[in-house]
Structure 1
Amino acid sequence: MQPTLHLGSAWSSSWSIVGWMACRLGGLEVAENRIFLSRPDSPPKLKAISPSGRVPALHVDGPGGTMVLWDSLAIAEWLWERDPTCAIWPKDPVKRAYARCVAAEVHSHFDDVRNGLPMNLIKRWPIRDGLPSNVKLMARPGVRAGTDRMEAMWRDARARYGGPYIVGDEFCFADAAFAPMCSRYITYGVELAPDSMDFIASAMESPLMREWRARAEREADEVGRDIVMASP
């Protein structure tokens, strides 16, 4: 039976992007189940498919029953163990170690940026009358410090491997982890240093991110852009 990947809304669920990209990089064909996270009936649906009550969650049926992977990094590592030749991690062991460090840091840090600049792939700042200004958004606790750290990571990666992605021309799971983070600076019209904006542009124009952005646009038309624009 085909595995099922449970996802949130394409325009606003940042971790769903990461889990979906992991499955694509890992070459795993999945059925998809979309859950709109902001609806009143969403919490029980989420608890039914994920012990953490969050997405993504990958369900894989096997002889011993259904295996549930409820974390994007765990999904990526399982996919790589399943097929070490896949595109989750670079083939070169040094690049692979570096990419793992980057992905782990993005996975476990930067909550201040996530909370201060909520992801929305559809709307653009300013929403109305220039408010709230992105200057104030960037002044929220931890947002500037987190942004500075990410910029340092991008510069280090470019210095080591030349870009356009974390380990050169190979788009791997480390880039998937960064993709929704990069989108925030586009949404809120935040101008970072030119080299950072170049990295962000490469991430946003990567084939997988372009495919996901197109999905977000379709969902916005389906749900209603007024509803999508009202989301955080």
Structure 2
Amino acid sequence: MPRSIPAPFKRKFQQQLLRWYRKNGRELPWRETTDPYSILVSEVMLQQTQVDRVVPKYHEFLSKYPTLQALAKARARDVKKTWYPLGYNIRPVQLHSIARETVAHYGGQLPSSDEALQSFKGIGRYTSGAIRSFAFLQDAPILDTNVRRVLLRVFLGTPRAKPSDKRMWALSEELLPRGRTYDFNQALMDFGACICSAKTPACPRCPMKGFCKAYSKDVKKEDRR
């Protein structure tokens, strides 16, 4: 993988991705708000859980615990009961703990710095980046399985390559269009889920196929047959 993406390549990727997102982005309830608490709830729920299972539980959870303060006051067993059946029961426990720590140490306002967010159990670099870009509108990169796959295919030519996490995070950050990170990060996730999927990518209708290295390799293979 090149150490730096050529400016025209980067600009074309940004433009095509954002154009695709304007027409095809998913309508999801947590995209209707920049409330840090709501974004926190959605991101914790989305860890290891499919979007269609999260949507109804997201509404139910926020209806019962509409604020960090309300969640902090709740009993842990009640929070776990409301969370059911999303699974991974450590997540509601950690979310409850985040609410209590935020009320105790941050005046009930979720902090916006990467360092503070990652100090909470249950929030790693990806979740911190998502909260910072979607709630606080910071130019923060994200990198999950879907995003990694998109970047590896477009820029390296295969999702099976194994560059270091450090390099992949640097690439994700390098590609950010400053001031438009909210839409860009949402677009990356939707694109990985809807077009550049793991098993059956929709290459024929992909807006990146004109410069995607993986698509170019596949076309050359077909030409040689």
- Length-normalised TM-score, structure 1: 0.26
Between structures 1 and 2, the one with greater strand share: 1
Between structures 1 and 2, the one with greater helix share: 2
Pair member with larger Rg: 2
